[in-house]
Amino acid sequence: MSHRISLQPGNHSFEADDDQTVLEAALAAGLLLPHGCRDGACGACKGRVLEGEVEHGEHSPGALSEAERAEGLALFCCAKPLGDVMVQARSVTRAGDIQVKKLPCRVQKLERLAEDVMRIELKLPASENFAFRAGQYIDILLADGQRRSFSIANAPHDARHLELHVRRIDGGRFTGHVFETMMEKEILRFEGPLGSFFLREDSARPIVLVAGGTGFAPIKGIVEHAIRLGLQRPITLYWGARRRDGLYLDALARAWEEVLPGLRYVPVLSDEAWAGRGGLVHQAVLEDFADLSAHEVYVCGAPAMVDAARASFHSERGLPEDAFFADAFTFAQPSAR
């Protein structure tokens, strides 16, 4: 059985099957809503149910609180319509300008960046023109139909290959393969580009970038794109890790300060004493900025970090809701990875 979804702004209308979320149905209809993790963790897809009811599904309480649910808000990546509904998203655009594709690719290079971080360089088919926005991600398609999501760590101008940063997860099926048995020239399949976590090039606001661990991957793509554009907007980049080896491309990030004069890099360690900044990475932002009302903030990392940054930047520093962009890294259950 299908249900009719009316979507604002723009007076859009489309059908959703019983097992489809609002976001899935919108994307199938060629409409792009704000979204990131597609797992109920980042809150990027939050919108309002104006008419009708939805099944909210599993999600992080930090991404959607009980109070917000009571006010009629929902996460469209999890919410499934229980009948005809009318919903309102923060923005709606046509997805047709960049096509989502399923493509084969070849593992061109494997490089250990840290004990638990592998850089994979994927070579794309020469006959395909693969376009993406700086900060988006792809899904690696496994043989049994499961997916593993990884951010694209290179900039769009270098789209003949894709760079991924893969952190090893204990008991992880795919990450175990990456670190133990994957070989160069192996063929993989992927779908992308995906997500609405990407650099807003038409804005003039100063930028704050916040990365936790391998959340540095899409931030790297955004910075390299900014360098390519010769972006003049001030950029402050915070990269948080537990220990120094977690800042696995620290030298590269420091070099960006010379290449892009408006960029300032602030590494932060939470579990190791050193001469630099200590504590939680979002707290470092709060220490440095008394007011974020005129800024744009891009946050990528663990859901807890994203939740803490969202709450504190909005409530304590005046960051507007529509100026916070997030991608929360979540993982499949270990038995399924």
Residues 219 and 320 placed together within one structural domain of the fold: yes
Calpha distance 41→237 (Å, rounded)? 22
Residues 160 and 247 placed together within one structural domain of the fold: no
Q: For residue 146, is it within any domain?
A: yes
- Which range marks the domain in which residue 294 is found? 207-328
Residues 214 and 289 placed together within one structural domain of the fold: yes
Domain end among 95, 116, 138: 95
Domain end among 162, 196, 230: 196
pLDDT tens for each residue of 67-122: 999 999 999 999 999 999 999 998 787 755 688 899 999 999 999 999 999 999 99
The helix, strand and coil proportions of the chain, stated in percent and rounded to the nearest 5, come to: 25, 35, 40
Mean pLDDT of the chain: 92
> So what's the pLDDT on residue 336?
38
Between residues 250 and 96, the one the model is more confident about:
250
User: Residue 334 above 60 pLDDT?
Assistant: no
Calpha distance 103→239 (Å, rounded)? 32
> So what's the pLDDT on residue 328?
84
Residues 36 and 121 placed together within one structural domain of the fold: no
Q: How many Cα atoms are found within 13 Å in the side-chain-facing hemisphere of 9?
A: 5
> So what's the pLDDT on residue 310?
92
Residues 192 and 214 placed together within one structural domain of the fold: no
Read off the pTM: 0.81
- CB neighbours (10 Å) of residue 61? 10
User: Residue 60 above 90 pLDDT?
Assistant: no
Lowest mean pLDDT: which of 68-77, 125-134, 264-273, 326-335? 326-335
Q: For residue 202, is it within any domain?
A: no
Residues with Cβ within 8 Å of residue 264, at least 6 apart in sequence: 234, 235, 236, 237, 257
Q: How many Cα atoms are found within 13 Å in the side-chain-facing hemisphere of 201?
A: 13
Domain end among 49, 79, 95: 95
CATH code for the domain in which residue 48 is found: 3.10.20.30
For residue 134 the two structure tokens come to 């700086």
Helix axes 216-229, 250-259, angle to 10 degrees: 20
Calpha distance 281→242 (Å, rounded)? 10
DSSP-assigned letters across all residues of 31-54: EE---SSSSSSS-TTEEEEEES-E
In whole angstroms, how far apart are CA 268 and each of 18, 165, 241?
45, 19, 6
Residues 79 and 180 placed together within one structural domain of the fold: no
Residues 74 and 41 placed together within one structural domain of the fold: yes
Residues 224 and 163 placed together within one structural domain of the fold: no
Residues 15 and 91 placed together within one structural domain of the fold: yes
Total count of domains within the chain: 3
Residues 69 and 171 placed together within one structural domain of the fold: no
